[in-house]
Structure 1
Amino acid sequence: MGEEENRGKSGCFSVMIVFCLFLIVGLDVIAGVVAMQAEVAQQEVKHTRVLFLECKSPSQKAFVLGIIALGCLAAAHILAIMIGCSISNMFKVLAVPMIPYINMACLALTWVVAVAGAGILTMGIWTNRESRSKCGFTNKSFLSIGGKVCFLHAIVSVILYLTTIVSKKCSYAM
């Protein structure tokens, strides 16, 4: 009877992990796609360019889409960290000395990618604010780059979960 109960908990837990992975990856993919759409909206704005100086009007649509992308990235990262920590608390560590270091490296990489993506998206949003000056140095495609970093965050989050799950042994019967 105890073995069937553990098997039932294991199946439910596996479904929860898969659901959470799809949720986090989905939020990251939505953030990336919305950031790419914001870049397209930013490019549609009238601009003139003379050597290294570029005069561009801000795009309200790109600004709003950038905010949405930043919100999706933040939500995905918060969920990834919260669920990743709760998964690691539900497992016991295997007797392999390198496992905690690999897991911590993946956790740190998740934070680095999330902060970099948020910073790049913020720079793209900042270039589309209404109060900015009309001319300046050539703006790079911050929103597009931020969208690509959102996709990278999805990959790093999946790697974080895989290292957490593979490196730990399920302990339902304590």
Structure 2
Amino acid sequence: MARDFGPVICMSIMIMDIIAGILGIEADLAQNKVKNLRVWIFECRDPSYEAFKLGLAAAVLLAITHAITNLLSGFIVIWSKEEMDKASPNKKLAVASLISSWILLVIAFSLLIAGALENSRSRKDCGISHHRLLSLGGVLCFFHGLFCVVYYVSASAFTREDKKLNPPSVQHV
């Protein structure tokens, strides 16, 4: 009796990415609560330790979600143009969503880490203001979750169809 844990895995991926996104947005709100002095595009502000913690937590949760998705989905790849032409729609979708999720991971993780580092206790910044790094990273976490779910579903579908088309051979000793 095989159990299908796909819906539970998809919900877990989405919940973790939603939490990461909310943490990123909350970090931005905490950052905006600190005192600052602004003159044109230049700004001096105190760091927010709360924003640092929330931004770092969002980045870590985003990375964990991405790692879990890739470990549970396997690694689906297309190496050549010929293989691309022969690939099933599920495999093409899996590869496209894998690439998209990696791109979103790099951008969102970079934004969250940069926003968190702006708020480390050792820094009191004066310079050109960099607003919304944390909230942009948080919003990208939501899109990352969508692409991770699409990747998991399409990779699972491709794996099932590949097993049906190419059953493992039985070797007798």
Shorter-chain TM-score category? 0.7 to 0.9
Correspondence for 2:148:
157
TM-superposed CA distance for 1:133, in Å, is: 3.8
How many residues align? The count is 156
Alignment of 1:1-174 (within 5 A): 8-9=1-2, 12=3, 14=4, 16-85=5-74, 97-99=87-89, 100-169=91-160, 171=163, 174=168
Query: Deviations along 1:54-86, whole A, 9 cap, x unmatched?
Result: 111000000011111111101100001101118
Change (3 A) 1:97 1:134: closer
Gaps of 5+ in 1: 1-7, 89-95
- Greater shift in the superposed pair: 101-110 or 136-145: 101-110
Q: CA deviation at 1:168?
A: 4.2
How has the CA–CA distance of structure 1 residues 46 and 133 changed in structure 2, closer, same or farther, with 3 Å as cutoff? closer
Cα deviation for residue 134 of structure 1 reads 2.7
Greater CA drift, 131-140 or 67-76:
131-140
Q: Normalising by structure 1, report the TM-score.
A: 0.81
Post-superposition Cα deviations, 1:95-150, rounded to whole Å, max 9, x if no partner, equal x6343333222111111111111001011111101222431101221010010011
Secondary structure at the aligned position of 2:74 is classed as helix
> For 2:88 and 2:8, how far apart are their aligned partners in 1?
28
Q: What is the SS of the residue equivalent to 1:30?
A: helix
Distance in 1 (alpha carbons) for counterparts of 2:87 and 2:119: 49
Q: Which consecutive segments of 4 or more residues in structure 1 shift more than 6 A? A: none
Name the Cα RMSD after superposition: 2.1
Of 159-168 and 20-29, deviating more is 159-168
* 5+ residue gaps, structure 2: 77-85, 169-173
- Between the aligned partners of 1:61 and 1:169, the Cα distance in structure 2 is 45
Q: Deviations over 1:15-68 (max 9, x none)?
A: x11121111111101101111111111000011110010111000000011111
Question: What secondary structure does 1:169 align onto?
Answer: helix
> TM-score, normalised on structure 2?
0.82
Read off the aligned partner of 1:26 and give its amino acid letter: I
